[in-house]
Structure 1
Amino acid sequence: MPRVAPSGSLSDVLIGRGSELSLLRTVIAAPPSLAIVEGEAGIGKSRLVGELLSASGARRLVGQCEQLQEPLPLSPLLDAFRLAGDLIASRPAGPVVGALAPLLPELAGHLPPPLPPLPDQRAERHRVFRAAVALLDHLSPLVLVLEDVHWADGGTHDFLAFLAAHQPRDVAVILTVRTGSGSLPIREAFARAPSGPARVLTLVPLSPPEVEELARSILKAELPRTFAALLYEKTGGIPFVVEEVLRTLLERLPAGEIPGRPDVLSALAVPTVLRDVVLQRLSSLDGAAREILGAAAVIGTTPDDRVLAEVTGRGPLEIAKALASAQAMGLLHEEDGQSRFRHALARQIVYESVTAPERRWLHLRTAQALESGPGPRPVARLAHHFRLAGRTEEFVANAEAAAGTALSHGNDATAARFLLQALEVGSLPRETRVRLAVKLGRVAVDGLAHAEAVPMLERLLATEPLPAHLRGELRFALGRLLRQQGEARAGHLQIERAVGDLGDRPALLGRALAVLAAPETVVDRHVSEHAARCDEAGEAARRSGDPDVDIAVRIARASLLLEQGDPESGRLIDDLLRDDRLRGVPREHARACLNWAQGALHIGRLERAEALLAEGRRVAGQAEYLRVAEVVELVSAAVDRAAGRWDGLEARVRRLGGTPGWAAFPAASMEAGLLLGALLAATGPAEEAVACLGEVIAVAERAGAVWPLIPAKMTLSRLLLTLDDVAGAAEHATAALSLVRAKGNWVWGAETVLCLVDALGRTAGTVELVDELGTGLEGADAPIARAALLTARAVVSQDRPEADGLLDAARTTLQEAGLRYEEAQAAERLGRWRCERGTGDGGPALEAALRLYAAMGADRDLARISRIMRQNGVPIPYPWRGGRPSHGQTLSSREREVALLAAEGKTNQEIATELFLSRRTVESHVSSALRKLGLPSRRELRAQGGLADP
């Protein structure tokens, strides 16, 4: 069956066309039938037909009419036939089809012999038409689709009229046509077809909710109301325009960052297809109307009649006539009693049709008209028009005022944008540049202007002799921006340098020191140094007398203690959550809750993490704090991972961390990578898990970020142990242990110590290390660390009687904490210990671990524990997933086929290519085969050779 050309759509779902799709399905289900799908450019005609064909099993031919000055006769139909060459060759066609042989030389060998030419061209054309219809009948049942028939040549129109009168019984015909392209010659013929009149589907723009749904399906993210509304206003609900806008944005920004950046919608190029249509309509207006419409485009999407009259010097009646003419041409439409451009991109096309000198003059006239108007000064509009008029002094003054207005409404992103635009003016006086840069530094962190603001601040600090207090403020702002971009070490160093300049500004000093108190950001700073910074921050807060600074310092102290497992952190957090001052600053409130939720996960306090996440999500939602939306989702995924709720989790995490420079928090991409690596280490494939964790480690080492560097090395060490790479596991665990010692936080290092003990066994060094860990964890309330310590003590105690009790206590600790995956690992270790040493019945513990792994879909662990159970004579209780397992313990035919190739040493990609499967499907079959065979890795599969079912 010929392949339908892809539409290039960014969305894999069809939005807002349910009834039209249903109607088209009835058309193709009852041939002979005809349908015309019409609508303006970009409305989604081809997308709708593509959706129809992709879901239908019917044979189809698709031809594309092209906008050529001298179109070839029947070219779209002939192109469609060329794609059907194999079908034509499969069985002989009637003799009349030979009339097509001269037109299809590529297929001449599959067609009947050419017919002798006829002297009458009209008769020849009629014979070609009969041949084309005969060939369609020969290929039926099928659906014939001809796209963009408004561009078809006269011969194609004549053929379609002929086809409508002589339509084969099992052929359905669908045409797509652009509205506004004049009268379509075949409409009458299609209306009077013997099979019944053609069904006409007129597509209209999407509604605002449908535009939001389309954008959400493309960006895989929820959209704030401001972004969705602006996107609809910008695109007029035209699906193609929506997708082109988002496609353009995706070329510039990560998908997750786009919803929080409505400002980027204002600087987009216009799709060529829309430009052509609009310019054609514009050219049909008279000179005066074009002049007035050009001025209207300069003024804005909804030009004010008073301003338009003042700018153009035209009278009200002349303006009214011009706007009416533009409305009749579809360039404008009436809304709420005002003339508006059909959509913002149409306005942009008209705007760009005006010459550059004339545009500058019109912008200046518009600014002057706005200044003289009633009411408050529209500073944002004035800044826009003065900038494009080339009047830099007036532009900078109004941009700074507009930034102030934006800040007064809590719109940091807009404020940052105006300040950045003002700072781009090369002729600014030094004092103005410094003033604007300081303001930019204050708003850029929350304004999401990181990429633009960082070089601006770096250049200013390098070139301008600044007073100490301003230099310190700019360094502090730069350090925070660098940290948010994932540059942990560089950001920390900038803030450390800022501290020396902020002695006379205790409020700002207190905030800077509070940031330096965070232990989870940078390597090579001991927790004692972070604690000292926190004490200094408290003193600066007292000197400042600023209650907001006091709140910031208390938040930092709670975080510092929480990361160390200090029980005092719980009381501090509870006190802060009850404090009206914290509740009065919802952004600070939301950030604090999310940071604490992550800290609680770091130490294994899942219940606390879930409660803090819920609080942070609620506060961020109520405050519409879009900047932390991705972090909310990341923490939510981490909580679900810890709780064992893994269904669909991998796909969620891939969406979160799959884009480099992830959204508002590029640093969070490392956290997403760690989370994905940890999931893959349990579910497979192991090769991808190793690569993922290796990438996280490389990025974190480059950035100097201690978290997630330590847990990433620990997770990789644990994974390498399961792959029998003891040396590699010990190397990564030793490196992680060095970081732990440098940081001085043994709560983070407990699992690393356990990895090293597992790799090296009982030695004098490991016994000493476990004792050191025990000392470091004294008084800590951290379930993960406590369980790791108990387990490590059991391992180094070897076969002593207390080992069993230590392992059981570790499992109980993790079970009570709700950490399901870690609980499964502890139960597996306990059961294996009991079975191999004969210290008790290990079967129940192994079975409990098996069920936990199965519930989470941890296929790699299932394969390992199944082998352990068989080796120790423990029966495997199928079905253990709560349902019927596929083929029980027996390999399916496909699993056996894949396993045999894997046993030969072929890679997953090689197997996928050989068997015409996706790589992901091969990975699934390999994991399933390993589990059923009780083998931990492909290495054992190759060593086993035969694949007898267990």
Structure 2
Amino acid sequence: MPWGPARVPSSGSLSDVLIGRRSELALLRAIVAAPPSLALIEGEAGIGKSRLVGELLATTELAGARRLVGQCEQLQEPLPLSPLLDAFRLAAGELARSRPLNPVTGALAPLLPEIAGHLPPPPPPLPDQRAERHRVFRAAVALLDHLSPLVLVLEDVHWADGGTHDFLAYLAAHQPRDLSVILTVRTEAGRLPIREAFARAPSGPARSVGLTPLSPPDVEELARGVLKTDLPGAFAALLYEKTGGIPFVVEEVLRTLLERLPAGEIPGRPDVLAGLAVPTVLRDVVLQRLSSLDAPAREILCAAAVIGMTPDDRVLAEVTGRDAAEIAGALGRAQAVGLLHEEGGHCHFRHALARQIVYESMAVSGRRWLHLKTARALESGAGPRPVARLAHHYRHAGHTTEFVDNAEAAADTALSHGNDATAARFLLQALEIDELPGETRVRLAVKLGRSAVDGLAHAEAVPILERLLATEPLPSDRRGELRFALGRLLRQHGEARAGHLQIEQAIDDLADQPALLGRALAVLAAPETVVDRHVSEHAIRCDQAEEAARRSGDHDVAIAVRIARASLLLEQGDPESERLIDELLRDDRLRAVPRERARACLNWAQGALHVGHLRRAEALLAEGREAADQVGYLRVVEVVELVTAAADRAAGRWEGLEERVRRLGGTASMFAAASQDSRLLHGALLAATGPAEEAIAILVNVIAVAERAGAVWPLIPARTTLSRLLLTLDDAAGAAEVATTALAHVRSKGNWVWGAETVLCLVDALDVRGSAGTAAPLVAELAAGIVGADAPLAQAALLTARAVLAPEEADGLLDAARTTLGEAGLRYDEALASERLGRHRCEHAGDGGPILESALRMYGTMGADRDIARICRIMRQNGVPIPYPWRGGRPSHGQTLSSREREVALLAAEGKTNQEIATELFLSRRTVESHVSSALRKLGLLSRKELRGLEVERPFDDG
């Protein structure tokens, strides 16, 4: 039997799963399975040696095996045999139950007073100290033999004293046949005395199990397991660079981040990772290693930390004034203590945090001096000027003029290679210098305005541009360009109205710059960004943009304007948009600019979803994703995820969708506008799945933010979704009020394709209140507004609204609406239309049962619990049997409630809140919400209010 959990080394790991060590664990298991055996687990500090031992001892093969674990301590004067004696102390219980011991084991009694009572009497002392030590060694081997079969683990043997090393050499030559010995040792410890003895052991040479750093995919898997969420590639790559793949360092970094942020927010905040303070535990380890070096080696290593992760030998020699031999020796000594490692023939810091610790160990004045010397050394080198590195070193040396010159040059280089984020970073740093001349500040700000849009530096750039426009006397062309840049940034930052106004103000100033003017007018042509601008105004702006593009003679501007024209037409359901989009996608000039193509395709994909063309949206999404991936276009990564989620929602692919959109709309979102769209999508999902209270809260928030920002999208669809939700909660008056407000925005914008669903909500609300006939002029207005529009959602909404007004024609109209939505692939909307048609037929002496059942199954595959509850009630009311299962699998407890669901439902019927129920039943609030939702669905109820009349006699399942 094992001797208790204390025998398994504790790694203190954040991860429950061993990552990237499958082959090493398999090798160890094979070694231990064939005693007598010896194993050396080797690797640098933090690489996971103890974790691997712990995993080995936890395997099923060793679950019942005896094991002893001893730990070597880092002491100035280690105690003789201390790890072995510590291990023997753990065997007291076993010795108390075991057969008589070999008398020689009594020699251990004076060394082990805790278990001396279980050992034979100590033999008389020997006059020869060497003989006495030999007898102790024999006693220890005899005791190990007595306890065998046994696995003996000694940790951190590089810290063991000479006596322990001597014993291990003796043990290798006299190893009991049922004993397996495992030692952990650091690779940087150099050549240990026991290695040779273990290599010549009679039982065969010791097997070496070498541990290397984790690969980038392993680091990503480890972090994903700790944070319990997916990781963006950029975050995973930065985490690997920061930690060098050393598991201990990875987990210490994550532990530090978890002290600051919720786990779900961390992957979206690479800025926090980039600016992370070094974990205290890691700092102590690195500083201890640094202090073990001699003064010349420390001096050279500090200079190396200033130069970079991989210091250039020439630059290092010039900065330190040392010759090649001195530098090679110093780097070798640093490598021996684990601060550096060799890769590709060059010395690197072990990981970015090791370099950071060495760097921060120097006085500030010393660092500034080394940065200046490094900059001078880099300037004296051959080849192109390394402007990015020069900017970095001059900045930290405090030489602002040289820093600004090189930062601007570095930004220009980054922009020429399409790296807007890097350009924005250099420009932001340069603009932090207070003593910049006015002309230089304006020039840099103009470049920042261009780069910040794609460089995701919105929040930092906006106040800089606003301050310049407010305080600097600017020539009109500069003022116009700054206003245009500021307007674009504000729009992406969620300030639709403010951004639109800035660009409008820039138009006159850009009159003499037709290329920029054409681009600015093309932005103003976009209809979905701002309230209080009629689509006719957008069309005029588009015409003006075409004229400016013609004057400029710039083909790229002409392409941008044609893209805007296609978007404007698409959002109105104009069939001409399809022809224009197809032409643009075949245009080699657009294909040559992957970023422009990616942006265009994603905008068109969103427009196609707005009007109900799912298949076209998915094709455009695929094209946009491919173009973005081609050039690693980070700006649109979040938009790709958003459009993908919206397409999945429309197509009824809801598995895991709620969690995806919840994450997209979180605080880590890079784009305020995209975050609002994500929250709208989240609210729409919850309106179908529940809880309704959370859906209402999200939609109300989206509406409030959109109203403040002046963003027409998602203002209209958010109000429409809220109106529909209120209708399902029997609040027809509230639904009518919300729909009427949304309708005012529709009229102001003049795009009835967007307003069709709004009109239908208002018609339904009026119908519930018995005044549907008053909506006839409104339906006629809608019909006139979408004449000739290729917009399945709008056409289906019009057909449905007409059905409400003309009951005698309703069957054909509702069937046509359902067919329109089904042919468009809009699965959820098709289910809603099927429910409406089935209910109509049931209520008008038709056979609506099969259609209701079809709708139920569609809701079931999507997990639309609120819709399921509603349609089940409709089916019961109309005597339509409810088939089980209808999800494609076995629903829990059929249509009856489990005992827990019943308990929760009865408490809810008493008027208790979810939190009160959770507290009373010792459940999480989320679990209570799930039980309430399930109970409502099974009972065919739409809201908690209806639970107030819950009858206890209703059949329940006690299972």
Query: Alignment partner for residue 902 of structure 1, among 908, 922, 925?
Result: 908
Query: Alignment partner for residue 862 of structure 2, among 809, 831, 856?
Result: 856
1-structure distance, mates of 2:254, 2:423? 23
Match of 2:711 in 1: 705
1:364 deviation in Å? 1.4
Amino acid corresponding to residue 572 of structure 1 in structure 2 = L
TM-score (norm 2): 0.82
Amino-acid identity (%): 79
Matches within 5 A, 1:769-788: 769-788=778-797
Match of 1:929 in 2: 935
Query: Alignment partner for residue 883 of structure 2, among 867, 877, 884?
Result: 877
Match of 1:660 in 2: 667
Match of 1:603 in 2: 611
2:541 is the alignment partner of 1:537: no
2:489 is the alignment partner of 1:485: no
1:39 deviation in Å? 5.0
After superposition, the Cα gap between the structure-2 partners of 1:249 and 1:625, relative to the gap in structure 1 and judged at 3 Å, is farther
Residue aligned with 1:301, SS: coil
Matches within 5 A, 1:123-202: 125-126=114-115
Match of 2:366 in 1: 358
Match of 1:790 in 2: 799
Match of 1:498 in 2: 506
After superposition, the Cα gap between the structure-2 partners of 1:174 and 1:905, relative to the gap in structure 1 and judged at 3 Å, is farther
Asked whether the 8 Å contact 1:896–1:929 carries over to 2, the reply is: yes
1:695 deviation in Å? 2.5
1-structure distance, mates of 2:55, 2:675? 34
2:930 is the alignment partner of 1:940: no
Asked whether the 8 Å contact 2:44–2:338 carries over to 1, the reply is: no
Amino acid corresponding to residue 740 of structure 2 in structure 1 = T
Matches within 5 A, 1:213-228: 213-214=221-222, 220-223=230-233
2:751 is the alignment partner of 1:745: yes
Asked whether the 8 Å contact 2:188–2:336 carries over to 1, the reply is: no
After superposition, the Cα gap between the structure-2 partners of 1:492 and 1:351, relative to the gap in structure 1 and judged at 3 Å, is same
Asked whether the 8 Å contact 1:412–1:444 carries over to 2, the reply is: yes
Matches within 5 A, 1:263-274: 267-274=275-282
After superposition, the Cα gap between the structure-2 partners of 1:443 and 1:806, relative to the gap in structure 1 and judged at 3 Å, is same
Match of 2:88 in 1: none
Amino acid corresponding to residue 719 of structure 1 in structure 2 = L
Match of 2:736 in 1: 730
1-structure distance, mates of 2:53, 2:718? 48
Match of 1:43 in 2: 47
Match of 2:106 in 1: none
Asked whether the 8 Å contact 2:542–2:561 carries over to 1, the reply is: yes
2-structure distance, mates of 1:540, 1:257? 44
2-structure distance, mates of 1:703, 1:578? 36
Matches within 5 A, 1:548-627: 548-627=556-635
Query: Alignment partner for residue 20 of structure 2, among 16, 19, 22?
Result: 16
2-structure distance, mates of 1:737, 1:567? 24
After superposition, the Cα gap between the structure-2 partners of 1:443 and 1:66, relative to the gap in structure 1 and judged at 3 Å, is farther
2:836 is the alignment partner of 1:826: no
Residue aligned with 1:925, SS: helix
2:441 is the alignment partner of 1:433: yes
Q: Which has the larger radius of gyration?
A: 2
1:176 deviation in Å? 8.7
Asked whether the 8 Å contact 2:95–2:118 carries over to 1, the reply is: no
Asked whether the 8 Å contact 2:569–2:577 carries over to 1, the reply is: yes
Structure 2, unaligned runs of 5 or more:
84-92, 98-108, 120-150, 166-179
1:608 deviation in Å? 1.0
Q: Greater shift after overlay, 208-217 or 121-130? A: 121-130
1:610 deviation in Å? 1.1
2-structure distance, mates of 1:43, 1:22? 17
Match of 2:812 in 1: 805
Amino acid corresponding to residue 895 of structure 1 in structure 2 = E
After superposition, the Cα gap between the structure-2 partners of 1:561 and 1:931, relative to the gap in structure 1 and judged at 3 Å, is same
Q: Greater shift after overlay, 469-478 or 490-499? A: 490-499
Match of 1:167 in 2: none
Query: Alignment partner for residue 699 of structure 2, among 674, 693, 700?
Result: 693
1:635 deviation in Å? 0.7
Match of 1:111 in 2: none
Asked whether the 8 Å contact 1:587–1:625 carries over to 2, the reply is: yes
TM-score (norm 1): 0.83
1:588 deviation in Å? 0.7
1:829 deviation in Å? 0.9
1-structure distance, mates of 2:635, 2:344? 34
1:34 deviation in Å? 12
Matches within 5 A, 1:109-128: 125-126=114-115
1-structure distance, mates of 2:222, 2:823? 43
Amino acid corresponding to residue 239 of structure 1 in structure 2 = P
1:599 deviation in Å? 0.5
Amino acid corresponding to residue 821 of structure 2 in structure 1 = L
Matches within 5 A, 1:313-328: 313-328=321-336
Amino acid corresponding to residue 652 of structure 1 in structure 2 = R
Amino acid corresponding to residue 714 of structure 1 in structure 2 = T
Residue aligned with 2:347, SS: strand
1:404-430 Cα deviation digits (max 9, x unpaired): 222222211111111111111111112
Amino acid corresponding to residue 799 of structure 2 in structure 1 = L
Amino acid corresponding to residue 677 of structure 1 in structure 2 = G
Match of 2:723 in 1: 717
1:155-211 Cα deviation digits (max 9, x unpaired): x99xxxxxxxxxxxxxx99999877689999999x99xxxx9999966431123423
Residue aligned with 1:747, SS: helix
1:230 deviation in Å? 5.7
Structure 1, unaligned runs of 5 or more:
77-92, 98-119, 131-142, 158-171
1:874-927 Cα deviation digits (max 9, x unpaired): 112223223333333333333333333333333334444444444433333333
Amino acid corresponding to residue 750 of structure 1 in structure 2 = A
2:388 is the alignment partner of 1:380: yes
1-structure distance, mates of 2:193, 2:115? 18
Amino acid corresponding to residue 760 of structure 2 in structure 1 = L
Query: Alignment partner for residue 275 of structure 1, among 266, 269, 283?
Result: 283
Match of 2:216 in 1: 208
2-structure distance, mates of 1:580, 1:533? 26
Matches within 5 A, 1:371-410: 371-410=379-418
1:480 deviation in Å? 1.0
2:688 is the alignment partner of 1:682: yes
Match of 1:107 in 2: none
Asked whether the 8 Å contact 2:865–2:937 carries over to 1, the reply is: yes
After superposition, the Cα gap between the structure-2 partners of 1:65 and 1:815, relative to the gap in structure 1 and judged at 3 Å, is farther
After superposition, the Cα gap between the structure-2 partners of 1:264 and 1:667, relative to the gap in structure 1 and judged at 3 Å, is same
Asked whether the 8 Å contact 1:514–1:534 carries over to 2, the reply is: yes
2:653 is the alignment partner of 1:649: no
2-structure distance, mates of 1:49, 1:942? 59
Residue aligned with 1:741, SS: helix
After superposition, the Cα gap between the structure-2 partners of 1:127 and 1:789, relative to the gap in structure 1 and judged at 3 Å, is farther
2:832 is the alignment partner of 1:817: no
2-structure distance, mates of 1:804, 1:558? 36
1:549 deviation in Å? 0.9
After superposition, the Cα gap between the structure-2 partners of 1:265 and 1:367, relative to the gap in structure 1 and judged at 3 Å, is farther
1:698 deviation in Å? 2.5
Asked whether the 8 Å contact 1:903–1:945 carries over to 2, the reply is: no
Residue aligned with 1:442, SS: helix
2:511 is the alignment partner of 1:507: no
2:872 is the alignment partner of 1:866: yes
2-structure distance, mates of 1:176, 1:466? 69
Residue aligned with 2:881, SS: coil
1:843-891 Cα deviation digits (max 9, x unpaired): 1221111111112121221111111111111112223223333333333
Root-mean-square deviation over aligned CA pairs: 4.9
Query: Alignment partner for residue 850 of structure 2, among 844, 858, 863?
Result: 844
Matches within 5 A, 1:99-114: none
